[in-house]
Amino acid sequence: MSFGLAGGAVAGVTEEDLLNDATTPGDVLTNGMGRDLQRYSPLDTLNKDNIENLFPAWAFSFGGEKQRGQETQPLIYDGVMYVTGSYSRMYAIDLKTGEELWQYDARLPEGILPCCDVINRGGAIYGDNIYFGTLDARIVALDLKTGDVKWNKKIADYKEGYSYTAAPLIVNGLVITGNSGGEFGIVGEVQARDAETGDLVWTRPVIEGHMGTLNGEESTMTGTLNATWPGDMWKTGGGATWLGGSYDADTDTLVFGTGNPAPWNSHLRNAGTPTEGNKGDNLYAASRLGIDPATGEIKWHFQTTPREGWDFDGVNEVVAFTDKDGNKRFATADRNGFFYVLNREDGAFVNATPFVSNITWAEGIDETGRPIYVEDARPGNPLEAEKGQMVFSVPSFLGGKNWMPMAHSQKTGMFYVPSNEWGMDIWNEPISYKKGAAYLGAGFTIKPIFESHIGSLKAIEPETGEIKWDFQNDAPLWGGVMTTAGGLVFFGTPEGEFIALDDETGEKLWSFQTGSGIVGQPVTYEFEGEQYVTIVSGWGGAVPLWGGEVAKKVNYLNQGGTVWTFKLPKQLAMAN
């Protein structure tokens, strides 16, 4: 038994267990296979020499008509797999047989407003509970053994456009959540709750001018009112923290990314032309924030796209790693097409390099980390017109990389980044805020930029930004990546193929057709002396909803909802 700082005595999974999650292959307790989100397994029983012997152990169907996108990452604890499904469902599955132990189905109200499909990205385990969020912007604690509800708390009002799709993060007995709804003029926020009771401990809005709270009392204002926002636009400023965060134990820091400022039309936010100082940067949208987990105070920020005008959310995961020279760094592959390395102590800029082709909106990143804009590549001002001048922009608003998590190998030192090569026609339109209504002020059409491929899984050296190899795929990549000490890189495609590549060369070593497009996140673990790999198959997410011409390219793909579990039998582990 140990003690969580916020919740008293805790049985079951402890803070120490979470701290060591990345190095204990018998369980997977956190999203990212460790709170640093490296998605690296130390297991090497399954390797390049015997990967051909990996075969299906069991498959579990979510069943019913509730299919759509399955972006979840399974969790593994005490012989049970816990996995979320579309429409805010949670399943407990016997790890050996694939038999369902219990199911929880959230009772979603009419009128929910999810932006990008009815997906859920997973849960978090602490004590005797498992926690996950629902599409009506709630966070639920369930009993690990029975699925009974321990508590159910409201994050925000779904009628105003809020939702919640990310996996929660647990640090020192606090359940830490973001929020979704950036296309509805909401305000991004991070919240921390006592894991035992669900009571709020602190809140931290991420847009300047809003007040945080600590233990039910106002704490501090985020930023300085109207420092980078004109008039009252900060009140509906966007910046949704919709992908959740990571935790760096070395510096005791939560790192959360923030989404696009609202509305998309940058000319309404003093961001259409270069401005004096940082007026018009619209902090802290399109940024990464270092946050004190005990109080919710912002320690540092790094804004990847100031004066944002293309829907380049800054939410993509921030991964703590140690580079080849022993420096403690953060890495993040931004929606804007650049791969950034930051200092772990203070979030200071180290370097940035492009990881997708033909970027139009910026010539590069200067020595301070600020973009060198191509002003003619910004959508025009529609001040006295039906719409502003249309531009063709690369990457598209779905990003050089979107939500789908990359992986970092401690073996090769490289990052394996799922990316997409596409652009968009984009233009601005007049818009005014209305509660619960879309607040874009822009129109767009996504288009491929190459005939040969859209998806591209790249191996990137973080010290130089050099792309060591590039595995190309016809359809966009929209699922997570995992790498192992066995020299393997796992990911799935919308065409339904689950693939293992050689981590040094990118050569395809193994694949399995799952029957539906893969947008989920793979995991690997050890059970009864054998290595297992699990992926959830089920096509959906943002691409078929928002993909324009690209959506037509993948409109033949079948939906689904299946947990595929593979294993390497003991007797074949030494075969090659």
Least confident range of 3-12, 356-365, 409-418 = 3-12
CA quadruple 197, 199, 201, 203: dihedral sign: positive
| Spatial distance between the Cα atoms of 173 and 10, rounded to a whole number of angstroms | 9
260 labelled binding-site residue: yes
At 373 the pLDDT is 95
Phi-psi category of residue 513: left, alpha or beta, with phi > 0 → left and psi -120 to 50 → alpha: beta
- 414: tokens are 């490289």
Cis bond leading into 284, ω under 30°? yes
* CA–CA separation, 558 and 302 (whole Å): 40
What is the per-residue pLDDT across 251-297, written as a single tens digit (0 to 9) for each? 999 999 999 999 999 999 986 655 566 788 999 999 999 999 999 99
Structure token pair of residue 241 = 């923290």
CA–CA separation, 270 and 180 (whole Å): 24
CA 37 – CA 416 distance, rounded (Å): 13
Active site residues: 311
353 labelled binding-site residue:
no
Share of the chain above pLDDT 70, in %: 96
Instruction: Determine the 3-state secondary structure of 16 from DSSP.
Output: helix
Q: Is 204 annotated as a binding-site member?
A: no
Residue 574: predicted pLDDT: 76
Q: Does domain 15-572 have CATH number 1.20.1070.10?
A: no
- Give the confidence band of 49 by pLDDT, cuts at 50, 70, 90: very high
- Between 95-104, 340-349, 377-386, the lowest mean confidence (pLDDT) is in 377-386
Q: Is 403 annotated as a binding residue?
A: yes
Q: Say what the pLDDT of residue 65 is.
A: 60
pLDDT tens column, 479-534 = 999 999 999 999 999 999 999 999 999 999 999 999 999 999 999 999 999 999 99
Is 179 among the annotated ligand-binding positions? Answer: no
**Mean pLDDT, residues 429-443 taken together:** 90
User: What's the whole-number mean pLDDT along residues 230-240?
Assistant: 95
Range from 208-222, 398-412, 505-519, 542-556 carrying the lowest mean pLDDT: 542-556
Sequence-distant contacts of 376-385: CB under 8 A, at least 24 apart? 378/266, 378/272, 378/309, 379/265, 379/266, 379/309, 379/310, 379/426, 379/427, 379/428, 379/442, 380/427, 380/428, 381/267, 381/272, 381/428, 382/265, 382/267, 382/427, 382/428, 382/429, 382/430, 383/267
Query: What is the pLDDT at residue 576?
Result: 52
Residue with tokens 């193994």: 510
Q: Is 172 annotated as a binding residue?
A: no
User: Comparing 6-20, 58-72, 160-174, 226-240, which segment has the lowest mean pLDDT?
Assistant: 6-20
Place of tokens 């921390």: 192
pLDDT in tens, 57-113: 999 999 866 678 899 999 999 999 999 998 999 999 999 999 999 999 998 888 777
Mean residue pLDDT across the chain: 93
Encode burial over 510-531: b for 16+ CB neighbours within 10 A, e otherwise.
bebebebbbbbbbbbbbbeebb
**pLDDT-based confidence at residue 541 (cuts at 50, 70, 90):** confident
pLDDT digits (tens, 9 = 90+) for 453-489: 999 999 999 999 999 999 999 999 999 999 999 999 9
- Residue 3 reports pLDDT greater than 60: no
- Helix segments in 196-339, DSSP class H: none
* DSSP for 250-278, written as a single string: TTTEEEEE---BSSS-GGGGT-SS--STT
b/e sequence 123-134, b meaning 16+ C-beta within 10 Å: bbbbbbbbbbbb
Residues sharing a CB contact under 8 Å with residue 276, sequence separation 6 or more, in sequence order: none
pLDDT at 1 over 60: no
Please say if the pLDDT value at position 549 is more than 50.
Answer: yes
Residues 6+ apart with CB under 8 A from 231: none
The DSSP secondary structure of 89-140, one letter per residue, reads EEEEEETTT--EEEEEE--PPTT---SS-S-----EEEBTEEEEEETTTEEE
Query: Rounded to the nearest 10 degrees, how much is the dihedral formed by the CA atoms of 362, 364, 370, 371?
Result: 0
- What distance in Å separates the CA atoms of residue 81 and residue 101, rounded to the nearest whole number? 10
The closest alpha carbon to 491, from 449, 540, 456, belongs to 456
Global pTM? 0.95
Residue 422's pLDDT is 96
The answer, yes or no, to whether residue 544 has pLDDT greater than 90, is: no
Quote the pLDDT of residue 8: 42
User: Is 39 assigned to a binding site?
Assistant: no
121 is in an annotated binding site: yes
What Rg, from alpha-carbon coordinates, does the chain have?
22
Give me the pLDDT at residue 379, please: 95
- Residue 114: pLDDT band (50, 70, 90) is confident
Q: Which range, of 99-108, 403-412, 530-539, 543-552, averages the lowest pLDDT?
A: 543-552
What does the pLDDT read at residue 111?
77
> Is the per-residue pLDDT at 116 higher than 80?
no
Mean pLDDT across 238-260 = 97
Rounded average pLDDT over 200-229 = 97
Would the pLDDT of 2 be above 50? no
Measured between alpha carbons, how far is 26 from 42 in angstroms, rounded to an integer? Answer: 11
pLDDT over 90 percentage in the chain: 82
